[in-house]
């Protein structure tokens, strides 16, 4: 079975800034307008998206009990990896 390819899906993100200047995403608005609250941020690190390409800050987040990767690129855009439709 062939592995599905992933692509970047750019999303709107609600962000809070701490008094120390740290950026903390709090929600993601998907392309259909649905808003997903971020329950928790597990990890923040500089990393490349191996599935969809691109590099930036990778936020490992929990949304509705599911772990997801949210990326903040150096071009000031947010994206998630999604399965590419065939």
Q: Where along the chain do its domains lie?
A: 9-81
Look at the pTM and tell me if it is higher than 0.85: no
Tokens of 16: 């809070």
Backbone angles phi, psi at 84, to 5 degrees: -80, 130
pLDDT > 80? residue 19: yes
| Distance between CA atoms of residues 48 and 32, nearest Å | 26
How many Cβ atoms sit within 10 Å of the Cβ of residue 38? 19
Q: For 42-79, how does the pLDDT look when each residue is reduced to its tens digit (9 = 90+)?
A: 999 998 777 667 778 999 999 999 999 999 998 999 99
| Order of all β-strands in the sheet with 23-29 | 35-37, 23-29, 6-17, 78-83, 66-73, 55-63, 40-48
């Amino acid at each position: 079975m062939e592995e599905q390819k992933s692509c970047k899906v750019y999303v709107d993100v609600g962000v809070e800034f701490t008094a120390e200047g740290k950026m903390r995403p709090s929600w993601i608005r998907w392309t259909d307008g649905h808003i997903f609250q971020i329950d928790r941020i597990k990890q923040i690190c500089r990393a490349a998206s191996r599935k969809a390409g691109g590099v930036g800050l990778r936020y490992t987040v929990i949304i509705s009990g599911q772990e997801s990767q949210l990326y903040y690129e150096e071009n000031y855009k947010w994206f998630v990896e999604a399965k590419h439709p065939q």
